[in-house]
Each structure stands twice: as C-alpha cells, then as structure tokens.
C-alpha cells in the first residue's frame, strides 16, 4: 500500500481479542498437538523445523495443520515460501479446510500472507468454507480473513459478499481495529457488496470517531479515500482531530491522513502547515520516527495539493541527498515528482539524483512507471541532464513491451519538452507503439505527437502520418487540446496531413458539433489556425469562426496568440480591413500601456518584440488603410527598433566596443531574435550597410544553397518538398519561387536569378 500503513497496523492489532466459540479438541488431539508444538519450538532452525513438519504432516488433523502453518509463518516469515515441504503442508491444509473452524481458517490464510505464497487450492477451499462458519467467528477472526484476502489479492465474490453482510449484521460487536482492518482490505478488493459496505461503515466511523485512535481513524479515512468515498463531515473530523492532536500521533498515522487528503483533493491549511513543521523538526533531528516512504508520500501529497512549504522542502532535499539509497525506487520517484509538481527546483538535489541514477546504478532498478515519472519530473522542472536522460531512455527501451499507453506518450512528451532527442528510444517507440494505438486515449495520442513535434522528429514521416490518421478516426473522443497540439506538432515536423486537418475543420465547425470553437481556449484557437496556415490548408468555415471568436474574446488572448491569428489570416489572404482594424484598435491601448497584469493570460500582459513585429509584417501591404497600424509601429520602434539601431550605430570593432559579453547582454535584454525582413534592412542601413543590386551569380548561388539538386547540403536535398512550408528556415520568396518552378516541372539547378 502506498502509505505503508497496513503491515504495521495489522501486526499491532490482529490478535487484540478472540471472540467466538473455542475450538474443542479431544484429549488425544490436545496431547498430540502439545507434543508437536514442544518439538517444533525446540528445533534449531528452519531446516529442522521443515523436516519435522514433513515427517508428520500426513497425520495432522485440521486444527493442527492450520496451527503449524501459523507457527511457521510467525517464526520464519517468508523464508520457507519456495520449499516443497511447505507446499505439501499447504496441500494438506487445503484438504482439511472442509472441517476447519473459523480461527483455523484465519490462521492458515494469515500464514499464506506472511509467506507471500498464493496457493490457489487452499484459497479456494477456504473461500468455500468461510460462509459456513462466519456465525461462530469473532469479529477479529473475520477481520483477519479480510486482511489475508487483501494481502493475497484473492477475490471470491460469494465469500466476500457473505463476509461483508456478516460485518454489517454484527457491526456493534466490532471494535475500531476490526473496522479499520475490514475497511482497509475492502478498499483494495473488488466485489459487488463493496459500496454498500462502505456506505454503512464510513458513517459508523464518523459517528463513533471518539472511540478510534488516531491510527485507526487514519486507516479508515485512507481506505475511504482510496475508494473515492468522500464524506465531507468525516474529512472535517479527521483534519480537525489531527490538527488538534498532532503531537500525539505517530508518523504512520499522520502519513495515512495526509495521503488520504491528497486522494480526495481535500486541503486544510492549518493541518498541512502543522504537518510541514512536524516534518521539518523531525528531519532536523536526523529523521528519527520518519521512514523514507512516509517522507516521499507526504511530499507527493503536498505536490498534488499545491502546498509549498519552502523551508520544509529544502530540509527534505538536504535529508534526501545525504543518503539517496535509503529511499526505494518508487519512493525516490514520488519524492522527485512531488518536488516537480511544486516547481521546487533544488539544484543540489537534482544534481545528486542524476549522479545517483547513473553512477550509483539506481536507474537499473527503476520499473517502467518510475523511469517515465523521472523523465516527466525533469521536464516539469526544466532540468536538462543529458547523461541521466540518455540512461533513462536506454533502460526504457527493453521495457517498452510492458509500457502502458500513457507511459509511451508521457516519456516522449517529457523528452520533447526538454528538447532531448534520444534516437534509439524514438526508433523503438516507432516500432512498438502502432499495435497498441487503439488502447491510447486521444490525450495520449496528442501528447505523443506533441512530444515528437517538440524535437522536430524527422526520421519516420509515415509513422507520424499513421498516428495522425488514427487520431482522425477518433475525433468524437477528443478535447480541444487533443486537436490543437497535434496540429502544432505536424507543423513543427513539416508533415502535411490534409486528411486530418480537413476532418478537424469539418468536425469543429459543423452545426451541432460536440466540440465547437467556442469550447476552445484562446491558445487552442490561435495554435489551430496558425497550424492550418503553416501546413497550407485553408478552410473558410474554420477561418470565419476563428474570426468571430477572436473578436468576441479578444481580451482573453495574449499578444502572441493575437499575432499568430493575424499572421495566419494575412498569409491566407483572409479577413477584411474592418476586421483587422477592430483587432488592432483593441490591442493598441494594451501595447502602449505598461502591463497591468504581468504574467497574466490577457492582452494586458507584456508585449514582446515578436508580438509587435509579426502583425506589423503581416499587414505591411495594407498599413496605410489601417489607422491603428501606426500606433503599434510606434510602440515597436520606441521599445525595440530605435534601441537596436542605436546599438548598431555605436559598434566600434577596432576599439572592442562593445565587449563580447556586453554584446550578448544587450541582445538578451531585448528578448528578440529577429525583426523580420522589412525592419532588418532598416537596421542594416542604420549600421551603414546599403542594399546593392543583386547579381545573377549571387542569386543563383543562394538558390543552390536552398534548392540546388546537386548540393547534398541544400534544404531541398534534406527536406524535399517540405521546403515549401514557411516553418523551415528559408525566405518566403525562396519557397514561392520553388513552388512555381516545381509546378513547371523545371530542374532546381540553373534557375534564373530573379525571383
């Protein structure tokens, strides 16, 4: 169990009391049992004990058989689990089940759990016998059977149903430990009567909360949370009691209660602040009383609930790096993921973790889920560590056959976010994911394509088209994000897929659509139309509805989104002058003013250079017909262009001005990597560079660089007809020129110089 509560809880309480008729033995049986127990206890170790059992097992009566199973488990734990002599004892025990009483059954099943031994004949025989002896069993005996079935994950519908009914019938006889054991077990077993059992037991716990210890209360709360059974009054009672009595609770109970809050998305600031302080103090004393699993699960819960106690997190990170081996693989995974959810980027911890994964060899012990989670945590934190990511990918490859659909997509997406190309892993994903695509959710498919797009995957276009085609067949299942992200991905990879894009346009624009554009966020609208333009697919109904939604919700857009919509409309020759003017007129006041809401997702946030340059370049040809165009141009010139021009005029290489480091700082300050072809010429003029007439020879050489068929390094040689797409680093006139020449079926080399 994630919080680690059950084994300790059960060991403490399984033999609190025995209720029910005692098992009556004949005098001869009593003497035989006494003699055997004395000889068993006198054996010097496991081997002599097993020899003794093997020599007499054929003569055991039911009570003795089950008692022997129990004593072996108590004394030696799981050590004899694989021994054939124990298997013979279990076989004898199964044969004896038909005459066993409830206590004997509970002993045998408890022993199986301790052995970690799932013996189907014994379990089946016990399940068949239990309903007939329930009335004579005490509550603790029934609870012990519940626990054994949970440990062994044995689900017999008839038996569990009878046990549930018996507990409900005799609920007033049950003490808190027994209720807690039953709830904990039932939460992890599937059977028809489970919901009705919880519907009665959870209110019982709430009504009798004062009789439950903190640990019992935490176990019950955790069990109900695990099942998703949210009782608001119980939540408040548990939180209030723990906040009031935290000093009296042990770490196990605190962890169970906190973890349950996470499962139910229930946050109480007072309790969580007290728990954070408790953890910080305990860790500063060396972590006594806190187990590694408890630490990781509490941090994980803090992450899920967005609770960010900075000082406690730093203390946890310091404690962890002192000995990462104290954490099991899943614990380390949960701890790191908790940090990532909180955007808590502790460089010493992350550096030590990556060293531990590689040099310490811990990566070899991570299962598929932990490998994926580690990569995802690094992506959430933006922590790029090439050796660690390489190792995670290398060890993920042989585990791909057991990957869940979401693990494929999350791993590829995580590496994409970090812009880390692991070609071997991507090749393996291409080979192994197609057969399981039908099991992917549309979100999984979207994230997979999005991740491939982020690394500009260009090794297998057919695979990408296959995934996109599969998505096109499942549009009714998609969310807006499931559609927008793949379009962006195809754009990044320069892979046209007219079928998918036209299917999307038809699906979202048709009357009565279950996913109309009104349900898209501003980002999804902008990304969709921008991708349609880049992939050169025009759908009038889609663009018309985008125009309508943009005007209706313009203030919800951020500057970059508005710029992308304007760019797409202009390139597709769509949109009236009146529409463009309305958009610019509403944007201009926000661009001119200092940002009222920095970092917000509105027009009132910061306007960067590209947010201004892109619409200016897109509408340059109609600038004189748009009154608000000049306002945006004035802002762009004042904030960016004039400063860059001044910088260029001040350059004096002979005097080493500016110094290289200052040069980099100046450009970084503008946060602008290009100003577009129109303003580039103006800036070059400010630096004293003048345009000259293009020579035929120079233009021909430039074209060869882009589209020369005999030039293996040309863009055409590398990308083929993908060079026609504007997202590649080629001037638009080159793409247009190539498109014209290809239409005439003319060779690429030796083209005329003029565009």
Each residue of 454-473: pLDDT tens digit? 998 988 999 999 999 999 99
Question: Rounded to the nearest 5°, which phi and psi values hold at 208?
Answer: -115, 25
Tell me if 602 is assigned to some domain: yes
Q: Is 652 helix (H, G, I), strand (E, B) or coil?
A: strand
Query: Scanning the structure block, which residue is given the tokens 């109609």?
Result: 622
Tell me if 456 is assigned to some domain: yes
Q: Are residues 601 and 629 in the same domain?
A: yes
Could you tell me if residue 754 is left (phi over 0), alpha (psi between -120 and 50 degrees) or otherwise beta? beta
Tell me if 564 is assigned to some domain: yes
User: Cα–Cα distance between 248 and 540 in angstroms, integer?
Assistant: 68
Q: Are residues 340 and 418 in the same domain?
A: no
- pLDDT number for residue 728: 60
Q: pLDDT at residue 450 above 90?
A: yes
- pLDDT number for residue 395: 97
Tell me if 672 is assigned to some domain: yes
8-state DSSP, 23 = P
Q: pLDDT at residue 610 above 80?
A: yes
Q: pLDDT at residue 339 above 50?
A: yes
- pLDDT number for residue 682: 87
Q: Are residues 665 and 557 in the same domain?
A: yes
In 370-527, beta strands by DSSP E: none
- pLDDT number for residue 651: 82
R_g over Cα of the chain: 35
CA 490 to chain centre: 23
8-state DSSP, 70 = H
Tell me if 504 is assigned to some domain: yes
Tell me if 687 is assigned to some domain: yes
pLDDT mean over 17-24: 48
Using the Cα atoms of residue 743, residue 744, residue 748 and residue 752 in order, give the sign of their dihedral.
Answer: negative
Percentages helix, strand, coil for the chain (3-state, rounded to 5) are: 75, 0, 25
Q: pLDDT at residue 754 above 60?
A: no
C-alpha neighbours within 13 Å on the C-beta side of residue 334: 20
Report the domain count for the chain: 5
Tens digit of each residue's pLDDT (9 = 90 or more) over 77-108? 999 999 999 999 999 999 999 989 999 999 99
Least confident of 209-213, 282-286, 489-493, 698-702: 698-702
- pLDDT number for residue 725: 72
- pLDDT number for residue 736: 65
User: Cα–Cα distance between 91 and 69 in angstroms, integer?
Assistant: 11
Residue 514 CB burial class (10 angstroms; 0-12, 13-18, ≥19)? exposed
Place 275 in a pLDDT band, splitting at 50, 70 and 90.
very high
Q: Are residues 624 and 715 in the same domain?
A: no
3-state SS, 76-143, equals: HCCCCCCCHHHHHHHHHHHHHHHHCCHHHHHHHHHHHHHHCCCCHHHHHHHHHHHHHHHHHCCHHHHH
pLDDT mean over 211-225: 96
Boundary-marking domain end, from 432, 457, 481: 432
Q: Give the range of the structural domain holding residue 495, as residue numbers without chain letter.
A: 441-532
Tell me if 357 is assigned to some domain: yes
Boundary-marking domain end, from 401, 432, 463: 432
pLDDT mean over 419-443: 96
At 28, which helix (H) or strand (E)?
A: helix 27-42
User: Cα–Cα distance between 96 and 63 in angstroms, integer?
Assistant: 9
User: Before 533, cis peptide (omega within 30)?
Assistant: no
Taking all residues of the chain, what is their mean pLDDT, rounded to a whole number? 90
Q: Are residues 315 and 415 in the same domain?
A: no
Tell me if 520 is assigned to some domain: yes
Q: Are residues 378 and 445 in the same domain?
A: no
Q: Does the reported pTM lie above 0.95? A: no
Boundary-marking domain end, from 432, 449, 479: 432
User: Cα–Cα distance between 572 and 539 in angstroms, integer?
Assistant: 10
CA angle, corner 400, sides to 394 and 404, nearest 5?
130
CA 537 to chain centre: 33
Q: Are residues 384 and 504 in the same domain?
A: no
Least confident of 57-61, 120-124, 421-425, 478-482: 57-61
Q: Are residues 426 and 462 in the same domain?
A: no
Q: pLDDT at residue 252 above 70?
A: yes
Which contacts of 499-504 are long-range, i.e. CB under 8 A and separated by 24 or more positions? Answer: 499/469, 499/472, 500/468, 500/469, 500/471, 500/472, 501/531, 501/532, 501/535, 501/537, 501/539, 502/537, 502/539, 503/472, 503/475, 504/472, 504/475, 504/528
């Amino acid at each position: 169990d994630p919080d680690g509560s059950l084994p300790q809880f059960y060991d403490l309480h399984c033999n609190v009391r025995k209720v029910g008729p005692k098992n009556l033995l004949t005098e001869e049986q009593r003497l035989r049992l006494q003699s055997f127990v004395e000889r068993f206890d006198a054996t010097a170790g496991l081997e002599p004990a097993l020899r003794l059992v093997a020599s007499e097992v054929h003569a055991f009566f039911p009570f003795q058989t089950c008692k022997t199973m129990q004593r072996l488990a108590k004394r030696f734990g799981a050590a004899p689990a694989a021994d054939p002599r124990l298997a013979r004892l279990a076989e004898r025990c199964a044969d004896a089940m038909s005459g066993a009483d409830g206590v004997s059954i509970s002993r045998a099943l408890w022993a199986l759990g301790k052995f970690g031994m799932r013996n189907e004949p014994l379990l089946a025989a016990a399940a068949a016998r239990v309903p007939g002896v329930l009335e004579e069993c005490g509550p603790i005996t029934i609870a012990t059977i519940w626990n054994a079935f949970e440990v062994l994950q044995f689900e017999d519908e008839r038996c569990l149903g009878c046990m549930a009914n018996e507990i409900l019938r005799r609920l007033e006889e049950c003490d808190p430990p027994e209720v807690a054991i039953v709830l904990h077990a039932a939460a992890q077993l599937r059977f028809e009567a489970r919901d009705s059992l919880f519907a009665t037991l959870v209110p019982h716990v709430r009504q009798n909360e004062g009789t439950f210890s903190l640990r019992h209360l935490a176990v019950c709360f955790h069990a109900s949370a695990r099942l998703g059974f949210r009782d608001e009054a119980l939540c408040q009672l548990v939180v209030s009691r723990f906040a009031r009595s935290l000093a009296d609770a042990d770490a196990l109970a605190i962890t169970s209660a906190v973890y349950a809050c996470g499962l139910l998305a229930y946050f109480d600031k007072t309790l969580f602040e007290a728990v954070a302080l408790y953890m910080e103090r305990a860790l500063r004393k060396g972590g006594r009383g806190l187990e590694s699993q408890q630490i990781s699960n509490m941090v994980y819960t803090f992450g899920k609930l967005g609770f960010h106690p900075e000082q406690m997190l730093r203390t946890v990170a310091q404690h962890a790096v002192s000995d990462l081996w104290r954490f099991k693989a899943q614990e380390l995974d949960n701890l790191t993921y908790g940090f990532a959810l909180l955007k808590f980027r502790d460089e010493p911890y992350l550096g030590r973790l990556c060293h531990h994964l590689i040099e310490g060899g811990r990566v070899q012990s991570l299962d598929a889920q932990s490998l994926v989670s580690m990569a995802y945590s690094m992506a959430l934190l933006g922590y790029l560590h090439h050796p660690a990511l390489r190792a995670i990918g290398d060890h993920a490859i042989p585990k791909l056959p057991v990957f869940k659909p979401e693990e494929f997509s999350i791993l590829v997406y995580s590496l994409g976010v970090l812009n880390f190309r692991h070609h071997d892993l991507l090749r393996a994903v291409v080979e192994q994911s197609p057969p399981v695509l039908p099991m992917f959710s549309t979100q999984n498919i979207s994230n997979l394509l999005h991740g491939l797009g982020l690394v500009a995957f260009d090794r297998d276009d057919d695979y990408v088209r296959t995934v996109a085609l599969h998505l096109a067949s499942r549009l009714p299942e998609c969310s807006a994000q499931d559609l927008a992200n793949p379009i962006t991905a195809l754009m990044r990879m320069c892979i046209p897929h007219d079928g998918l894009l036209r299917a999307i346009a038809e699906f979202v624009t048709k009357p009565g659509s279950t996913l109309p554009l009104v349900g898209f966020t501003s980002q999804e609208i902008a990304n969709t139309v921008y991708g349609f333009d880049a992939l050169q697919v025009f759908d009038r109904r889609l663009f018309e509805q985008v125009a309508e939604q943009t005007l209706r919700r313009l203030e919800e857009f951020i500057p970059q989104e508005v710029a992308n919509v304007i760019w797409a409309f202009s390139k597709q020759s769509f949109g009236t002058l009146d529409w463009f003017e309305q958009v610019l007129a509403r944007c201009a006041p926000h661009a001119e003013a200092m940002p009222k809401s920095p970092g917000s997702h509105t027009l009132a946030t910061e306007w960067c250079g590209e947010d201004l340059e892109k619409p200016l370049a897109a509408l340059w040809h109609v600038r004189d017909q748009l009154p608000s165009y000049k306002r945006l141009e004035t802002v762009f010139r004042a904030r960016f262009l004039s400063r860059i021009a001044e910088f260029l005029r001040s350059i004096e290489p002979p005097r080493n001005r500016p110094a290289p480091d200052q040069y980099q700082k100046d450009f970084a300050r503008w946060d602008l990597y290009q100003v577009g072809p129109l303003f580039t010429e103006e800036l070059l003029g400010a630096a004293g560079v003048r345009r000259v007439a293009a020579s035929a020879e120079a233009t021909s050489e430039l074209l060869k660089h882009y589209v020369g068929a005999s030039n293996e390094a040309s863009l055409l040689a590398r990308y083929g007809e993908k060079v026609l797409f504007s997202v590649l680093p080629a001037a638009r006139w080159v793409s247009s020129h190539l498109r014209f020449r290809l239409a005439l079926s003319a060779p690429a080399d030796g083209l005329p110089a003029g565009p």
